[in-house]
Structures are given as C-alpha cells and as structure tokens.
Structure 1
Amino acid sequence: MADKKSQNQVSTSQCPTNNPFHDAGATSLLNKTGEPPFKLSLNLNKVEFKCTDDKKPIPVHLKVFNPTNETVCYKVRCTSAEIFRVQPPLGFVKAQETITIIIWYQNQDNKKEALSNKLHYFAIYHTHSDGRTARELWANSKVEGVRRLPATFIMAN
C-alpha cells in the first residue's frame, strides 16, 4: 500500500539533532504505487491561499527540515506554472537544517476558472546530493522521497 503519510532561499537556520520542528504529517494525497516515502519534515500538510480581490500575489511559506545526516537536493513542482510560482523551485537542504521556500499564487482574473475545474497540488521531491548542481542532479537522479501538498483557496469577504 502507498505511504500516506522565496525570492531565493529565504532563510536557513542551523537546527540541532533534537530539533523541535514537527512534521505536519500526511496529506490527503497518497503516494503513487512504487514511490518512496518522504524522509524530510514539512511545516504544512496543505498549501492554503487566502485570496483577496486586490489581485496581488499571495505567498505561503513552506519550511523544510532535513533530519538526516546528509545534504539532500529537493525539487518542487506544481500543477500550473501559469498560476503558481515556487521560489526557489530546487536547491539543497544541509543535514539538520531548515530552509524556507515561498509558494506564490498569482491571484489573477482567471482564478475562478482555473481553480474550479482542477485539483491543484505541489509535489516535493528529494534525492541525495553528490556535489553536482541541483539542475545536474535532477537531470538524471532517482527520486528518494516524495510528498504532495494539496492547494486550497479561501476567498476573503
């Protein structure tokens, strides 16, 4: 059975092994058959955008903690590059460190049409780091963990 469970890199903080960072846990989206379980910790189990009528982009801060003793390379993909941005979409998380990734919803005129017909989500993948750049790693590396975070939209009054 499947495991259920930024401008640029905005901040990095050194975290001791007994880090109080708690993983938000499983999401409503299961891994696909054969996908490896996620080994990092996230502060969110869904990405919730609080939409306003002013059409300004809406940021959500996703914190990623690496509890392992090795640097890992991550990649974040989204269901629509037209309505979302991820900053930075790929990079590294050193052992026992936390990074922040900013996920943006563009909040443009087409939001009702774009949001009503599709389940949107963000997939966070990770693999080991071997000294290559993140782009080089993801050109031919095997995914060692994945978690999908559903996107939800709350319309402000």
Structure 2
Amino acid sequence: MADKKSPVAVGMTVTPSNQANFVDAGSTTLMNKPGEPTFKLGINLNKVEFKCTEDRKPISVNLKLHNPMAVTVSYKVRCTSADIFRVQPPLGFVKPNETVSIVIWYQNQDKKDAISKNHYFAFYHTTSDGRTARELWANSKVEGVRRLPASFLSTK
C-alpha cells in the first residue's frame, strides 16, 4: 500500500495530464442511501460486467478513477463478497487531476452464488491529510460514495 512519503499505492497506474478527455460514466442504477454524500470523483464505468467462461478461470475488469478536484483524495473500494471478488488496489490516493487504474477480479468458481445475489462495488473517497491510506480509513468521514452493480455475462 501507500506509505507516508508516497501518495500512490504500489502497482497503481497513474496517468498525469489535464484529463480534459476523461469521461465519467455517471450515476448507476444503485442510488445513494439517505444522507450519503455525492460522489465527486469520476469513474469510467457505471457497472462492472464480468464475461464468464466455462473454463472457470478468474475474470478481471479494469476501470479508471479520476480526481477532478484541486486536492489529493484517498479512495476505498468495498465489495459485497470477499470470497468471490478481489479489488487491486482496494485503497489508495489520487492526486489532483490524475487518474488511477483499479482491477476488479471475479473468481468465477461458483456462478450460482454470484448470479443469485445482487452484488456491487462501493467506491468511497475522502480528503487526504498526510496519513497512510490504511490509517486514514481507520476513522475518516466519507466525503463521497458511488456503488457500481456487478453483472455476469455468459460467453456461450
């Protein structure tokens, strides 16, 4: 993960630029709960679609998270089932006007469990204050949230 000196988590791709061409996919079918703050970052997807294969190999989806604000923010991604999903990296930092890449993995082992439930990924962000991401998320107030639904498509 990120250390105090580096605002970028290990293995994360950062795209520095003015990002004038970044397009946020917008809101999803999953609305925020009452009282939850509006998401202020951009995500290039509004749902996570896994194209399932019969060979049951793990499937990944790449997405981009963009920070259009003038301050560095920390993000955290949570999923509905740690048994069948992995998020890499699950938390980190995004500097102003930069974009990070996040990979979401589906284990593709038990499709019945996955398809029978309404799975989603919750993206949270808060302003960075110099602590590591893990320290920051131990007791920080969420400043924005967006949930992306997961869907499973058969490649047959």
Q: Give the distance between the partners of 2:94 and 2:59, measured in 1 at CA.
A: 25
When the two structures are superposed, what TM-score results if normalisation uses the length of structure 2?
A: 0.92
List gaps (5 residues or longer) in structure 1.
Answer: 1-7
Code of the aligned partner of 1:12: V
Residue 77 of structure 2 contacts residue 122 of structure 2 at CA under 8 Å; is this kept in 1?
A: yes
Partner secondary structure for residue 143 of structure 1: coil
Aligned-pair distance for 1:118?
1.1
Separation (CA, whole Å) in 1 of partners of 2:120 and 2:151: 9
Equivalent residue, structure 1, for 2:150: 151
TM-score of the two chains, using structure 1 as the length reference: 0.91
Q: Work out the CA distance in 1 between the residues paired with 2:21 and 2:11.
A: 21
| Structure 2 equivalent of residue 111 of structure 1 | 111
Provide the identity percentage. 67
SS in 1 for 2:134: helix
Is the 2:40–2:144 contact (alpha carbons within 8 Å) kept by the matching residues of 1?
yes
Cα shift readout 1:107-153 (whole Å, capped 9, x = no counterpart):
11x222x1233100000000000000001000000000000000011
Aligned partner letter, 2:63: L
Alignment-mate amino acid for residue 127 of structure 2: H
Amino acid at match of 2:73: V
Task: Note the aligned Cα RMSD (angstroms).
Answer: 1.3
The one-letter code of the counterpart of 2:17 is C
- Mapped partners of 2:17, 2:23: distance in 1: 12
Candidates 3, 10, 13, aligned match of 1:11:
13
* Structure 1 moving runs of 4+ over 3 Å: none
1:4 — aligned with what? Answer: none
Unaligned runs of 5+ in 2: 1-9
